[in-house]
Amino acid sequence: MQEILKNELSIEKSRSDRRGVRFEPVKKHATDYLSAQYLRKGAPRLPELSEFDTVRHFTRLSQQNYSLDAQFYPLGSCTMKYNPKAYDTLSVLPGFAGAHPFAPESAVQGTLELAYNLQELLKQITGLSAFTLQPAAGAHGELTGILTARAYHDAHDGKGRTEVIVPDTAHGTNPATANMAGYRVVNIKSASNGCVDKEALKAALSEKTAVVMLTVPNTVGLFEPDIAEIADMVHQVGALLYMDGANFNALIGLAKPADFGVDIMHLNLHKTFAAPHGGGGPGSGPVGAAKHVAPFLPHPMVACENGRYTLQGDYAQSLGKMKAFYGNMAVVIRGYCYLRQFDAATLKDIAENAILNANYVRACLKGKFNAYFDRNCMHECVLTPPDPHATEVHTSDIAKRLLDYGFYAPTIYFPLIVPEALMVEPTETENKDMLDAFVTAMEKIYEEIQTDPQLVKEAPHNQPVKRIDEVSAARNPNLRW
Amino acid sequence: MFIPNTKQDQQAMLDKIGVKDIKELLAQIPTRFLYPALDLPKALTEAELTAHIHDLAAKNQPLKNFIGAGMYEHFIPEAVPALSSRGEFLTAYTPYQAEASQGTLQTIYEFQSCMCALLNMDVAMASHYDGATAMTEAALAAHRVTGRTEIIVSSLLHPHYKEVLKTYTQHMGITLAEAKNTQDGVLDINALQEQITDKTACFVLPTPNFLGNLEDAQAVSAVVHAKGALLVAVVNPVSLGVVQTPGEYDADFAVCEGQPLGTPMNFGGPGLGVMTAKKAYVRQLPGRMVGIAQDKDGKRAFVLTLQAREQHIRREKAASNICSNEALCALNAVIYLTLLGPQGLKEVAELNLERAHQLAEKINAVKGFQVNMKTPFFNEFVVQCPVPATEVISKLEAKGIAAGYDLGSTCVQMKNCLLVCATELRTPEDLQAYADALGGI
């Protein structure tokens, strides 16, 4: 069928002298205030659209997206849980949204009180002594955490510590972070059960070790049963244990990282704490620290003195600042809202149901898409497809075929240690009916792999575009109009 | 509330898994760690929560805002939040599955295009955390490109940007230095010429600078490039409706805080790190980038591209560890610029110029207060006060006005100096009220 309405760029819809907003006329022009050397020559090539054109353009684009609100989005390690609608409204109340970061403290007591309250709640659920809400994302939190550790070591005669140990199951951000903090990355292989190989860890640990970075539960969805022993090993050589809390949804209310011996960790408010992912951000990556490490966190910190909330900057041992101003407050508000809707008795329901849902999917797909590590998992399961050497159908094909059935794809080809990995994280906010539907789709794809592999290999068939040749984009990059 | 599993569902699922209860699924966690005591407040219903959060918001005092200093209050057309808050955008994530994420991908491509057009640069990445981190990544890229180890910044760079740069570079074998400024509140270009050497990787030039003044960027660029160093420009995006662009003065990297383009101040976050570069440095840009590709029918499609730079492929060899960025704020910015177009952008920039200059003139008419009108500025400027700026701030706060940024807080010699901003949102009446309030001190 001939396409009459083409999917155009805004610039292709642009007509000169159309406009979507107008401002009051000025009395004098730029040339009256600034000499020619300071002035722009030539107007920028921005689209010229009416307000309605703009609304229709972006609304139509939004309809070319899978999203959590409309689709099951089992993206492993990303914790795509429902984002409560009340928080959308509450996070943009004019009192919060209109607050300038340099406004007098007396004028921003509400924002500071909320931030302080959230810090206290995060301390409570992790058992750590202090939290900063400054980092803008998970990876930013990791860097904050590792620089905190570095400041700690520098203050404790630890300048000879040059290495950070990272298991091969870690997110790519972990080694990249350690490198940005100026450390040498020592990768260690996992044991055959998917957990830390204690012998390998022991061999890697030395007086040169500054930090061991562990994701708990790890990226194959397993809890480290020897976590306390690992923490002891780390501490015995004078190193610090950093916990990547990206997967904290599996532990919230169930266990406190401080009890395992974790010294520093980050949390993702856009994962465990129900803030939306925004198509790629903004996130928020609060970092918590045990008492001995807390003085090295970035400044300023939100403090409370006699009922008055302040941003305190004079921390002599602080690592410095991680971003301008303070944290991503609009995200922080959402995280706080979420935590206030649970009490001690119900908080664990989050983790328990996340774990139940992941194991249910794993159990239902057993025999067709087997878990790489065939045992009970935590909040996510890492599945593998039928042997691609025999079927010639790969994980990437299965991911695309899922789109046809109305599901976003799991995280694929990660963790790296699992060949052809399909990492499924349903989260606790999906109901059993949706999980059953997902299982049915996967079973159907399994059948198709046997009967009509080409159908799977050429998927997707019903998306706005067919399978994209990604290499064509990199060959001769077109990155702008 | 947010957990739909009923008791029956749970039992059916446990049966399928083949365990008797959920606790059996937790066998990997040592029992001594399980179910710790938590001291948490009572769980709030949505109605209670709404009341509580409204109470907190009401504890913030709405002041007539005259503070800028890196974060600016501008008019945001209602279509911006109405579109960017659509669940289809808001609740999606990084567009890994391109075929089912064409909406997000096309908006990022349009954002990159708008940023290139606005800053007059060749390429842009999808977004960084904020202006300070974008600037830092640009300086680090210059360090990698040149193989040189010194970074010089203008002494009139935003103090937070200086701190963030220091934090990021402290363990990288990089030396930081500051270039002096003149009495007129601009860079001392002659001093920079003396200071810059063949060890200098880049010079970071904010214009307008932290005092609101515009720099002679063309002259700075010549000095920097003469020594083979790169120029990193830090700009105000709204000013570019009228002010000379980084592309025009041959900047190698140009960055800005993109918050003024359709995102509220939110006490400083989320911001929007805009990072652009000359084409030659495209592979030095961190984070996501979207490009045009073809689908198998030859139809135009959008994908994440050049991913071999990124942490999930390169791990410890990646240029940056950035993963989540500020996509939603980038969406705000592209919607904002699509609504304004080149003409609207010029109008809003001229209105900022006009209001700020009108305010400066009114302040100059108040006895004891003085603004240097000789140095060109955009929408903010320095006021010399007869008393410490802190005193002016607290007296105006009592009249419902946020008077400005206390420059004495970062530089003791400037304790009587106030940095004052007027955007298009400050009406002629607001400006008069400000001047009257100063007159009452």
- Contact residues, B window 49-68, toward A, CB-based 8 Å cutoff: 49-50, 52-63, 65, 67
Q: CA triplet B39, B42, B43: central angle to 5 degrees?
A: 115
Nearest to A468 among B91, B295, B313 (CB): B295
Measure the CA–CA gap between A283 and B325, rounded to whole angstroms.
Answer: 7
Contact B39 A327 (CB under 8 A): no
Q: What is the pLDDT of residue A268?
A: 98
Q: Which CATH number applies to A346-472: 3.30.70.380, 3.90.1150.10, 3.30.1300.10, 3.40.50.300?
A: 3.90.1150.10
pLDDT at A277 over 80: yes
Measure the CA–CA gap between B56 and B53, rounded to whole angstroms.
Answer: 5
* Cβ–Cβ under 8 Å, residues A256 and A357: no
* Cβ–Cβ under 8 Å, residues A108 and B63: no
Measure the CA–CA gap between A32 and B376, rounded to whole angstroms.
Answer: 11
Mutate to test the interface with B, among A62, A63, A273 (most CBs of B within 10 A): A62
Model pLDDT for residues B14-29, shown as the tens digit of each residue: 999 999 999 999 999 9
Residue A196, strand partner residues: A190
* Residue with the two structure tokens 């000499």: A35
Among A380, A367, A445, which Cα is nearest to A406's? A445
* Cβ–Cβ under 8 Å, residues A293 and A263: yes
Q: Crossing angle for the helix pair B327-364 and B428-439, nearest 10 degrees?
A: 50
Residues in B closer than 8 angstroms to A27, CB to CB, are: 354
Q: What is the pLDDT of residue A449?
A: 98
* Cβ–Cβ under 8 Å, residues A218 and A188: no
Measure the CA–CA gap between B276 and B255, rounded to whole angstroms.
Answer: 6
Instruction: Name the minimum distance, in Å, from the CA of A275 to any CA of chain B.
Output: 9
Other beta carbons less than 10 A from residue B25's beta carbon: 19
Share the mean pLDDT of chain A: 96
Measure the CA–CA gap between A81 and B300, rounded to whole angstroms.
Answer: 32
Contact A469 B295 (CB under 8 A): yes
Model pLDDT for residues B51-76, shown as the tens digit of each residue: 999 999 999 999 999 999 999 999 99
Measure the CA–CA gap between A114 and A326, rounded to whole angstroms.
Answer: 13
Rg (CA), chain A: 25
pTM for the structure as a whole: 0.98
Nearest to A277 among B91, B167, B300 (CB): B91
Measure the CA–CA gap between B405 and B420, rounded to whole angstroms.
Answer: 7
Half-sphere exposure of B365 (CA within 13 A, CB side): 12
* Cβ–Cβ under 8 Å, residues A169 and A163: no
Burial class (CB in 10 A: 0-12, 13-18, 19+), A68: buried
Q: Give B155's contacts (C-beta < 8 A, 6+ positions apart).
A: B178, B179, B180, B181, B187
* Residue with the two structure tokens 């609504």: B339
Taking residues A349-368, report their average pLDDT. 98
Whether the predicted interface score ipTM is above 0.85: yes
Taking residues A107-129, report their average pLDDT. 98
Q: For chain A, how many residues are written?
A: 481
Taking residues B413-433, report their average pLDDT. 98
* Residue with the two structure tokens 């000095």: B223
Nearest to B131 among A324, A341, A464 (CB): A324
Q: Is B155 left (phi over 0), alpha (psi -120 to 50) or beta?
A: alpha
Contact B12 A253 (CB under 8 A): no
Residues in B closer than 8 angstroms to A479, CB to CB, are: 109, 112, 123-124, 282, 289-291, 305
Contact B350 A59 (CB under 8 A): no
What is the DSSP code (8-state) at residue A128? -
The strands making up B290-295's β-sheet, listed across from edge to edge, are A468-469, B290-295, B300-304
Torsion sign across C-alpha atoms A432, A434, A437, A441: negative
Model pLDDT for residues B116-147, shown as the tens digit of each residue: 999 999 999 999 999 999 999 999 999 999 99
Residue B320, helix vs strand vs coil: coil
Measure the CA–CA gap between A354 and A349, rounded to whole angstroms.
Answer: 8
Contact A45 B117 (CB under 8 A): yes
Q: What is the DSSP string of A406-424?
A: T-PPPEES-STTSTT-EEE
Model pLDDT for residues B357-404, shown as the tens digit of each residue: 999 999 999 999 999 999 999 999 999 999 999 999 999 999 999 999
Residue B231, strand partner residues: B203
Q: For chain B, how many residues are written?
A: 441
Domain annotation for chain B: domains and CATH numbers: 64-74+342-439 (3.90.1150.10), 79-336 (3.40.640.10)
Among A79, A155, A91, A129, which Cα is nearest to A287's? A129
Model pLDDT for residues A147-192, shown as the tens digit of each residue: 999 999 999 988 899 999 999 988 889 999 999 999 999 999 999 9
Interface membership of B22 toward A (CB under 8 Å):
yes
Model pLDDT for residues B287-324, shown as the tens digit of each residue: 999 999 999 999 999 999 998 878 888 888 887 889 98
- Contact residues, B window 392-421, toward A, CB-based 8 Å cutoff: 393-394, 397, 402, 405
Q: What is the pLDDT of residue B312?
A: 82
Burial class (CB in 10 A: 0-12, 13-18, 19+), B16: middle
Nearest to B62 among A75, A98, A298 (CB): A98
Nearest to B171 among A182, A458, A472 (CB): A182
Q: What is the DSSP string of A180-211?
A: HTTPEEEEEPBPTTSSB-HHHHHHH-STTEEE
Q: What is the pLDDT of residue A1?
A: 61
Query: Top-level CATH class of A88-339?
Result: alpha beta
Residue A245, helix vs strand vs coil: strand
Q: What is the pLDDT of residue A131?
A: 98
What Å distances lie between residue A353 and A247, A357, A359, B3, B15, CA to CA? 14, 6, 10, 8, 15
Taking residues A452-462, report their average pLDDT. 97
Domain ranges of chain A: 1-23+45-61, 88-339, 346-472
Measure the CA–CA gap between A277 and B104, rounded to whole angstroms.
Answer: 12
Taking residues B241-254, report their average pLDDT. 98
Q: What is the pLDDT of residue A169?
A: 87
pLDDT at A400 over 80: yes
Q: What is the pLDDT of residue A171?
A: 87
Mutate to test the interface with B, among A35, A66, A112, A378 (most CBs of B within 10 A): A66
**Phi–psi pair at A17, nearest 5 degrees:** 80, 5
More confidently predicted of B314 and B173 = B173
pLDDT category, A4, cuts 50, 70, 90?
A: confident
Taking residues A37-44, report their average pLDDT. 97
pLDDT category, B1, cuts 50, 70, 90?
A: confident
* Residue with the two structure tokens 């704490």: A273
Taking residues A28-42, report their average pLDDT. 97
* Cβ–Cβ under 8 Å, residues A363 and B16: yes
Q: What is the pLDDT of residue B309?
A: 79
Q: What is the pLDDT of residue B26?
A: 97
pLDDT category, A317, cuts 50, 70, 90?
A: very high
Q: What is the pLDDT of residue A314?
A: 79
Interstrand relation of B253-257 and B230-235 (parallel, antiparallel or unpaired): parallel
**Phi–psi pair at B203, nearest 5 degrees:** -115, 135
pLDDT category, B13, cuts 50, 70, 90?
A: very high
- Contact residues, B window 419-438, toward A, CB-based 8 Å cutoff: 424
pLDDT category, A6, cuts 50, 70, 90?
A: confident
Taking residues B146-157, report their average pLDDT. 98
- Chains A, B: CB contacts under 8 A, how many? 666
pLDDT at A346 over 70: yes
Residues in B closer than 8 angstroms to A253, CB to CB, are: 35, 38
Measure the CA–CA gap between A410 and A89, rounded to whole angstroms.
Answer: 30
pLDDT category, A5, cuts 50, 70, 90?
A: confident
pLDDT at A352 over 90: yes
Interface membership of B47 toward A (CB under 8 Å):
no
Contact B92 A331 (CB under 8 A): no
pLDDT at A3 over 80: no
Q: What is the pLDDT of residue B313?
A: 80
